[in-house]
Amino acid sequence: MSDTTLTDLIETCRAMPGNDALLRTLLRLGRESADPAPVIAYLSEIKEPQSLAPETRTDIAQFLADMGAPEQALAFTNEEGEGGINRVRLLLQQNDREAAIALYRKLIEADKSLRKDDLDSQLLAFAATGQGAGGAEVFSISGEKIEDTSSVPSVSFSPERERITFENVGGLADIKKQINRKIIMPFQKPGLFQRFRKQAGGGVLLYGPPGCGKTMLARATAGECGAKFLNVEIPQILDMYIGESEKRLAGIFAEARSQKPTVLFFDELEALAARRKFSHNSNSSALVSTFLNEMDGYAADNEGVLVLAATNVPWAIDPAFRRHGRFDRVLFVAPPDRIARHEILKGLVAGRPQENLDLEAIAARSSGFSGADLTNVIETACDIAIEESLSSDTIEPIRQSHILEALKEVKPTTIEWLSSARNYARYANEGGLYEDVIAFLDKNAKGR
């Protein structure tokens, strides 16, 4: 192809601006040409790139990027959708990592399906997920620059989850009330609390037997609370090079402070806060002191940052974590009582084919079952009904007999936990940590 053809084509493009087919031909010829400079020059003349079709714009941006003109290419990208992703790549190509991170964050907050693995690993120093008040999940990306990306292991987001509120959590009326008073209200009515010189924020530790709704409650708190919720994946902090974990953790707190009011949620806190004797990681004490320093807020003001944590092994948590100003509010998430079990069961069978279920009777017979155990029971009952449906070729609904059969198969899991807790309460009731457990056991011993 001769250069005159190219010059002619450029002239035609000038005469018919906004002709997408022509532009695409020009791009193709430009790529084949030994000297694409006139094409690049012409593209810079286009005054209103936004009037072109999106695919054409993408093609032009790609062409310019390939030709080593990423700055010029930016004018042809969108700030939204896949075009926005292209823009992120261009910004990266120009080494404008800060702008790339900011845009990437905005894009995936609006539409998580836009996430790209390579961008995640290039741009995310850490990732946290959570739910904002509006229900949209909030992804958080550290704004700090990563000098040498090759040494920073990639971190991926935790899987998407749907938003839940207190309504989804069966029973636990008492603790919901406490969370409302101690966590949600201070965020929603800061003025009132300030009058009494109380701050929103601080630390709240949820503890209790496995499968009784600690994680669920924390997520529901996020749904209820007007604050931003950052769910910190502890394994992602731990699985780092020496010294890297502390940096990560400090970065997470910094991120929380920059976006307050925020709830930072550390699930399975014991992984991070274990007493020495429970810990196999010789490096953990540095991490523990980083955590404590950050909570104490020596370096920065923590007002408006609530640290919420959950554990099912409270006796493994270093007592230093419960000192004043740290996790000084400790809430026991008890196994569901009969009424709560009834509620949970109702929620579990809702929307499934069923016939004459007496869930109250099941609730009465399932003392010691956690929410997770009850889920297991209903799933098992469902399996039995499906099996029968398959062999009879009609839809067999879940019947009482199915649930009763399942109840025999699934064993309650909270009893063992409660008996360990009782021992700790008896012999090491540190600062009254297990008072609520004792109250629960006493109440239960009287039968209900």
Binding site for Mg ion (CB under 5 A): 214-215
Using CB under 6 A, which of 132, 186, 336, 412 touches ligand ATP? 336
Based on CB atoms, which residue is closest to ligand ATP, 172 or 295? Answer: 172
Q: Answer for the pair 302, 295: CB distance below 8 angstroms, yes or no.
A: yes
* 335 in contact with ligand ATP (CB under 6 A): no
Residue with tokens 């540190």: 430
CA dist 268 and 41 (Å) reads: 58
Based on CB atoms, which residue is closest to ligand ATP, 54 or 347? Answer: 347
CA dist 189 and 177 (Å) reads: 16
CA dist 201 and 357 (Å) reads: 44
Q: Answer for the pair 157, 139: CB distance below 8 angstroms, yes or no.
A: yes
| Site residues (CB under 6 A) for ligand ATP, limited to 281-310 | 310
Based on CB atoms, which residue is closest to ligand ATP, 9 or 344? Answer: 344
Q: Give the contact letters, 106-125, x = binds to ligand ATP (CB under 6 A), - = no.
A: --------------------
* 169 in contact with ligand ATP (CB under 6 A): yes
Which of Mg ion, ligand ATP, none does 170 bind, CB closer than 5 to 8 A by kind? ligand ATP
Q: What is the DSSP letter of 274?
A: B
User: Distance of CA 222 to CAs 164, 165, 292, 308, 369, Å?
Assistant: 8, 8, 23, 10, 26
Q: Answer for the pair 224, 184: CB distance below 8 angstroms, yes or no.
A: yes
Q: Is the peptide bond before 261 cis (omega within 30 degrees of 0)?
A: yes
* 413 in contact with ligand ATP (CB under 6 A): no
Residue closest to ligand ATP, measured at CB: 371
CA dist 70 and 166 (Å) reads: 49
Least Å from the CB of residue 278 to ligand ATP: 16
Least Å from the CB of residue 170 to ligand ATP: 3
Based on CB atoms, which residue is closest to Mg ion, 215 or 370? Answer: 215
Based on CB atoms, which residue is closest to ligand ATP, 132 or 171? Answer: 171
Based on CB atoms, which residue is closest to Mg ion, 6 or 313? Answer: 313
* 176 in contact with ligand ATP (CB under 6 A): no
* 201 in contact with ligand ATP (CB under 6 A): no
User: Distance of CA 341 to CAs 177, 297, 419, Å?
Assistant: 18, 40, 21
Based on CB atoms, which residue is closest to Mg ion, 186 or 209? Answer: 209
Using CB under 6 A, which of 213, 261, 304, 412 touches ligand ATP? 213
* 256 in contact with ligand ATP (CB under 6 A): no
* 330 in contact with ligand ATP (CB under 6 A): no
CA dist 212 and 342 (Å) reads: 14
Segment interacting with ligand ATP, rule: CB under 6 A, options 66-74, 165-173, 292-300, 401-409 = 165-173
Q: What is the DSSP letter of 167?
A: G
* 211 in contact with ligand ATP (CB under 6 A): yes
* 372 in contact with ligand ATP (CB under 6 A): yes
* 345 in contact with ligand ATP (CB under 6 A): no
DSSP letters along 4-70, please? HHHHHHHHHHHHSTT-HHHHHHHHHHHHHSS--HHHHHHHTT-S-GGGS-HHHHHHHHHHHHHTT-H
CA dist 205 and 322 (Å) reads: 9
Segment interacting with ligand ATP, rule: CB under 6 A, options 53-61, 133-141, 150-158, 163-171 = 163-171
Q: Answer for the pair 204, 329: CB distance below 8 angstroms, yes or no.
A: yes
Least Å from the CB of residue 311 to Mg ion: 8
Segment interacting with ligand ATP, rule: CB under 6 A, options 64-72, 114-122, 296-304, 369-377 = 369-377
Question: Which tokens belong to 165?
Answer: 């509120």
- Per CB under 6 A, residues contacting ligand ATP are 169-172, 210-216, 310, 312, 336, 344, 347, 371-372, 375
